[in-house]
Structure 1
Amino acid sequence: MRVLLTSLPIHSHLTPAVAPLAQALRDRGHEAVIATGPAMGHLDHTVTLPDVPAPSDFGPPPWIPERDGVLKVPLFAHDLVVKAAANILDFARNWKPDVILRETNEYGGQIAAEVLGIPHALLEIAPFAPHEIPDLGEQMDKVRARFDVSATEPSFTAGLTPPSWHPSQHHYRVPIKQETWEKAPEIVATFGTNAGLLMSGSKLPHLVVEALGKVAARSVVAIGRGDWTGPRPSNVRLEPEIPQQQLLGTAKVFVTHAGYSSVREALTAGVPMTCIPLFADQPRNAARVEDLKAGVSVEVKGLTATVLAERIQHVLETRAYYDKAEKFSGEMAALPVFTEIPDHLVSAV
């Protein structure tokens, strides 16, 4: 079977799930390539869509989260979806895929499948993101009108968390590996791969490090590349990058922006969270963490190191958060492994 996967050219969209799924398909003997923008065209087995820009192509907004609050990011742009669908069709008409499988935030793949009259499937890497798009169905229909096609339902939908997080047609777990560090950190803090680009003028990382310095626990913080001019508490290890999913295997608290992949990895590991949502679907993810009582959410606007330290300490000392996180981890462990998606996809289409 030939599977064309489509994704926005964003590292956090491709690396955790889309690229591994493409590899899993190839391991099962199928042909699988990923159609994405030039920014991620260096990955193996990719097809470049020239009209699909990455966030870095637009430059950072004039936004400082601790001053301005949550950033409103447009998650659907009519013209870009039209161009993406056209680019995908240019390739697909020659390659002739049997199915197009898109990630949640990429909509051109679905339009292309509807034009070609072939099945399409959905990999839910951000299940709450569509709720951030007003009138999504109407906006998709306007794109369909450009191609003179009608809407069809996905033949297969794969969620990466249990139904208690978000209902889907099928549910899978993405395994995480534990990594042993000398003096393994009790608290892990990172804001993902996109945050550094978007909040270049922010002192939020300094604030987080200062807050962790007030908490009696060993911590590690991913601070990105470049000179660090912020505080250096003795109990806080500063690293340009960290192996997040591995470290969560031994952590007690995760300080996170509540991106879906980060939340999923924390819940897989059974680690409660202190969430500081910044943009896109992150506020909904953080609210869901609170609803599940697997952690707390902290508003970024006006945040101080003292307030953040208090919330981190609260999670660290509250057994109920660990109990809920461990319960969710058990639900994750009971799901079929992510690498079973190819077999189920074949059966569905």
Structure 2
Amino acid sequence: MRVLCTVTGSRSHIHALRPLARALADAGHDVLIATTADLAHASAATAGPAHVLGAVGLENAIGAGPRVVACLPDLQAFIRDSGRSPGPPGRAGEDPWPPFILDMLAGTTDTAWPALLAVAEGWRPDVIVRDGMDLAGILVAERLGVPHLSMPSGTANVLPPASVLSALNRLRAAAGLPACDDPRSVAPCGRIDYVPEHYSFACHRIPALRYRQPLDRDPAAVLPAWVTGAAPGRPLVYAAIGSTAREVASGHKPSPAREVAATDEPSPAREVAAAHGPSSGFPHPERALRALIEGLSLLPCTAVVATGGVPLGDIRAAPHVHLAEWVPQPLLLECADLFVTHGGYNSVREAMRTATPMVVLPLFGDQPHNARRVAALRLGCQAGGQSGEAVAAACRAVLSDRSVQGVARAARLAMLTLPGVEQVVADLERLVRER
């Protein structure tokens, strides 16, 4: 079986694909990963034994291990170059991010679709496992007449199939493909997810093949030795704002800041104002990082903050707050008492896998939706604003609430009832056979 996978967006999307690609390759199937130039070498490094290929001679690229080809446009660069921002909340405080994301995805598909088609026509896949931010994979699957599924994706979770269908039909027309009036044509074979149905983050009812969130550890990763010297009796808090905030924000002028009181009720309108200011725009990674560091400096804890390479400027941390550009997140979550996160879907799933309660400080994209869902499931709460005081208040609330810890453990137990990702091999084999 030949499996064409697509990865776009950020490195976290590679983490979702890596165990699946390895399982398929270990079972003897041929796996090709199509991605962006920036992610190509990251894909090769993280997918196990792999080779980075050009777009020529793919029909001969059969052998052990996933292979990687750089052919997709850089979505983050497209967003920066477009000069557009999500705009203010819509009517009734509607979240402005999903329509903006869909507009950006459709915009990159004009370039991605012919490039991916050229690769696929050489590779001749039996099935396509696509990034949830990849619409070109749908068009290519329809052109070749092969099934397709999307990977676990925060973006796919928040985009209503009816809205995607409208954009997809415009893209189909441009590609010479027939239109369809059924929203289910967006995902006719369903999707892949790594959380139980009860804990789903999807705002739609597209069926899912569900596997438990893999413990995606780098065998070479270790925690810093100073972790063992953490003050006994104090909680260990890990905080991170994700790997893409700096890249997405670059090239966009920050909006005027507006503080939101910690007692304010979260809403899409408040989330946008809290993260970006009243005029809306792109996230302030420096502001979010300042809020994390200042908030954790107010708490009696041992804290680790992954800065993601965001410049610290004049931000100063208390002695018990340790700063690092990067830490092995899956390892640290195994021992953390609390995770203060931007709310990326990959990070949320990793916290659920380790039963780590969360405080979510969302910045953009699907993160505001994920923050609301974390709170609704009682896996943690959303910070009331991007200030140190708001972060500290949210952390105190979660750390003092034993019921949140109980819910987090229950979610982990439910996740452990799902089959391992290795089950995807039999599921895809059956899907291809039945087509």
Q: TM-score, normalised by structure 1?
A: 0.89
The 10-residue stretch of structure 1 (115-124 or 180-189) with the greater mean CA deviation from structure 2:
180-189
Distance in 2 between residues matched to 1:2 and 1:21, nearest whole Å: 14
CA contact (8 A) 1:105 1:129 kept: no
Query: CA 1:314/1:345 → structure 2, altered by over 3 Å: closer, same or farther?
Result: same
- Find out whether 1:188 has 2:209 as its counterpart: no
**Unaligned stretches of 5+ in structure 2?**
45-66, 86-94, 251-283
Deviation at 1:72, TM superposition (A): 3.9
Query: CA 1:134/1:279 → structure 2, altered by over 3 Å: closer, same or farther?
Result: farther
Distance in 2 between residues matched to 1:115 and 1:7, nearest whole Å: 20
Secondary structure in 2 matching 1:49? strand
Deviation at 1:176, TM superposition (A): 2.2
Query: CA 1:231/1:58 → structure 2, altered by over 3 Å: closer, same or farther?
Result: same
Structure 1 counterpart of 2:114, from 76, 79, 86? 86
Secondary structure in 1 matching 2:8? coil
The aligned runs of 1:108-123 (5 Å cut-off) are: 108-123=136-151
Deviation at 1:199, TM superposition (A): 4.4
Secondary structure in 2 matching 1:124? coil
Distance in 2 between residues matched to 1:294 and 1:226, nearest whole Å: 27
What residue number does 1:40 align with? 39
The aligned runs of 1:179-328 (5 Å cut-off) are: 181-183=227-229, 186-199=236-249, 202-225=286-309, 228=312, 229-300=314-385, 303-328=386-411
Distance in 1 between residues matched to 2:96 and 2:326, nearest whole Å: 24
What residue number does 1:23 align with? 22
Distance in 2 between residues matched to 1:25 and 1:177, nearest whole Å: 16
CA contact (8 A) 1:99 1:120 kept: yes
What residue number does 1:75 align with? 101
Please tell me the residue identity of whatever aligns with 1:55: Q
Query: CA 1:56/1:193 → structure 2, altered by over 3 Å: closer, same or farther?
Result: farther
Q: TM-score, normalised by structure 2?
A: 0.72
CA contact (8 A) 1:7 1:102 kept: yes
Please tell me the residue identity of whatever aligns with 1:19: R
What residue number does 1:66 align with? none
Distance in 1 between residues matched to 2:424 and 2:369, nearest whole Å: 26
Deviation per CA, 1:76-100, whole angstroms, max 9, x where unpaired? 3334213212111111112111111
Distance in 2 between residues matched to 1:344 and 1:278, nearest whole Å: 35
- Find out whether 1:332 has 2:415 as its counterpart: yes
Query: CA 1:121/1:215 → structure 2, altered by over 3 Å: closer, same or farther?
Result: same
Query: CA 1:137/1:294 → structure 2, altered by over 3 Å: closer, same or farther?
Result: same
Distance in 1 between residues matched to 2:311 and 2:142, nearest whole Å: 49
Deviation per CA, 1:123-160, whole angstroms, max 9, x where unpaired? 222242324x8821111111111223245443352211
Distance in 2 between residues matched to 1:227 and 1:162, nearest whole Å: 37
What residue number does 2:191 align with? 157
| RMSD of aligned residue pairs (Cα, Å) | 2.5
Secondary structure in 1 matching 2:322? strand
What residue number does 1:12 align with? 12
CA contact (8 A) 2:343 2:370 kept: yes
The 10-residue stretch of structure 1 (136-145 or 73-82) with the greater mean CA deviation from structure 2:
73-82
Please tell me the residue identity of whatever aligns with 1:3: V
Secondary structure in 1 matching 2:336? coil
Please tell me the residue identity of whatever aligns with 2:21: A
Secondary structure in 2 matching 1:22? helix
Secondary structure in 2 matching 1:187? strand
